[in-house]
A and B are shown apart, each in its own frame.
Chain A
Amino acid sequence: MNILSRLKSWEGFLATALIVIIVANTMLSPQFLTFSNQINLFQLSIEKIIVALVMTLIIINGEIDLSVGSMMGLAACSFGFLFANGVPAGLACMIVMVIGVIGGALNGYFIARVGLPSLVVTLATLIGFRGLARVLVEDRGITDFPDWFDALGQQGLIGQLPLSIILFFLLFGLFYVVLQRSGFGRKTYLIGNNRDVADFAGIDTARHKMVLFVASGAISALAGLLFAARVGAVRGDVASGFELDIITMVLLGGVSIFGGSGSLWGTLLAVLIVLNLRNGMALLNITGHIQTGVIGVLLIASVIAPRINLGGLLAAVTRSEGKGT
């Protein structure tokens, strides 16, 4: 495979864009390549990018989970509520993970067993989980968690690498094997392409979707705990709106919103692009509105680009160049 044909794939395009962004950041900001900035770059969005991994599988499977941000909030607030009521932090973490599994199973039940559209079900739980989170902590912030809990979110676990970044790469490895190297992964693509065919082929599609939504609930709960540890406090609005950023990253990674195509590499590249772009713009003191606008343009481009046949365009350019010489 030569360089040009690699470029033609969406992943190739993303990789090129990422390199351009990193080079530009390095040239424009002396602080960009420092180790602590690179850690911060991941840390500031770490919970979102962890959830983006499982969201990739959900969307490839032809579904969507809008409730992830609210589940993160519910997890963080449940932790705060339990802790404030005297439950030891370690036990509270375990209870929160169970809440994540139950929340995910609730989504899964209505989507996979009852057969309701995931857009509707998870929109309902987006509101429901958030409401529950707000009821739990009311209009106050809960803080003063144990030192070990805050330290896990804020300090390095191995050297300067914090737990959450290590978890992200471990989970990336795990999901990579599951999605791209296992039967489960192949079924995920097949169901996303055509559920009826998958059903006829004897795949238990309902069970498959159930597993994915439970995983989504559990990973979101984990991300909510990581958020609580990183900021050392929780409030009813924790992680609200995160679902849109997460879905944006996955779609930018070339995962089709209609299911059936995309890859975890694409998501990783998109995550790195968004993180580096945001960090670079922040270091250049570009304000929030413009940052959001730039990410928005990127997403629009990612939706349009496959339709204008980037590969064909590139090929046409090379052909005409070939004629010229």
Chain B
Amino acid sequence: MKSTKTLGLLAALMMSGASLANAQTALEGGQEADMVLLPKFLGILVFDQANEGAQEAHAELGNPGELLFVGPTPENSVAGQIEIMTTAATQGQGAVMLSNNAGDQIAPSAVAAQEAGTRVVTWDSPIPGGEGEDVFVAQVDFGSIGTVMADMAHSILGGEGQMAVLSATPDAANQNAWIASMQEALKGDKYANIELVDIVYGDDQAEVSYNRALSLVDQYPDLGVIMSPTTVGIQASAKAMQDEGLCDQVKVSGLGLPSEMVSYTMNGCAPEFALWDFRDLGYLTYYTAYGLATGQLTGDIGESFSAGRMGDFAIEEDPGRPGSKRILMGPFTVYTSENVEAAAQ
């Protein structure tokens, strides 16, 4: 008992030195902190997966406190998130882990929660202005997605061929940023023989996307791959190619959910696609929030810590939101027939 205490003291001393030397903080489990995982709303698979990841970390760290998974209903998302944030502060929760759907409207209640001693860690979707937020756990670097998609096209096409993009809506800011970053990546020498022939929009509706995918094939007889950076579009395209028996000719790739894509990956219609793992995101978010809630992390830029099975992470300035802090989870997980079945469980 005494030796553990000494060890702890030693660790604490090392930690204070560590923040200067920028070394890793090993998070110590067993300390009590009540935690709240607050998704955008309930009933979405990826949020349930994030909860599984958080539960895994919760058990791993042996936190005697409680981990709650509470969220609003979809039609009451904004007001509901504000209400849950406020209630968490009243209850004196250790940390709230928020996938923000309320924009800056959540900021006053998040600030109030911080003032009441509750740490606020965002994941998946941050507080735009960064106010009321200790740190944002970013799933991927949004700028790197272009390279990932270009690489998948390169690998599917064997370095040469035609590609078309099937996006969500023409005015979706994230989609446009991702497509732009892919076009930027395609300028590289490696992709010189890959031609981007068209960009079409399926409005994130399954039926529209399905029809757009088929008309792409009609329009471009030499098309080799349809790249769809949306989970709705990629699934609809893969189904269209499968239904029409076109999978030998045109492959589908992009951003998709393993559980929705597993059959298309196994039958070769969509041999490769990417996404971040929401279980990992929940797991890393929990480690971060736990470190902050137990006072083992301060949340300052430059601080780094190890998050269980996922390895080491550092707190840095968020390049997309000056003045705010992020932890970058990345990179993407690329799913193939090798790993898609396990991820789809």
Contacts and interface: CB of A to CB of B under 8 A. Distances in A.
Contacts of A231: 82, 102, 104-109
B91 interface: yes
A36 B90 CA distance: 8
A288 B80 contact: yes
A106 interface: no
A256 to B, nearest CB: 26
Interface stretch (A89-97, A233-241, A265-273): A233-241
A40 B86 contact: yes
Interface stretch (B66-74, B253-261, B285-293): B66-74
B78 interface: yes
B74 to A, nearest CB: 9
Nearest to A29: B91
B105 A282 contact: no
Nearest to B92: A31
A238 to B, nearest CB: 8
A195 interface: no
Given A231-B105, A233-B105, A282-B83, A287 B78 contact: no
B82 to A, nearest CB: 7
B129 interface: yes
B201 to A, nearest CB: 16
A9 interface: no
A187 interface: no
B14 to A, nearest CB: 37
A240 B186 CA distance: 42
A34 interface: yes
Given A44-B82, A231-B82, A143 B107 contact: yes
A292 B78 contact: no
B218 interface: no
Nearest to A237: B78
Contact of B42 (A139, A279, A287): A287
A233 B82 CA distance: 13
Nearest to A40: B86
A150 interface: yes
Interface in A281-296: 282-283, 285, 287-289, 292
A264 B264 CA distance: 60
A283 B91 contact: yes
B70 A292 contact: no
B184 to A, nearest CB: 24
A282 B36 CA distance: 12
Contacts of B78: 235, 237-238
B76 A241 contact: yes
A230 interface: yes
A143 B129 contact: yes
Contacts of A309: none
A141 interface: yes
Interface string A278-318: 11001101011100100000000000000000000000000
B68 A232 contact: no
B107 A37 contact: no
Nearest to B43: A289
B96 to A, nearest CB: 12
B87 interface: yes
Given A235-B105, A288-B80, 15 more contacts: A40-B86, A44-B79, A44-B83, A143-B104, A143-B128, A231-B82, A231-B105, A232-B104, A234-B105, A241-B75, A282-B84, A283-B90, A288-B70, A288-B76, A292-B73
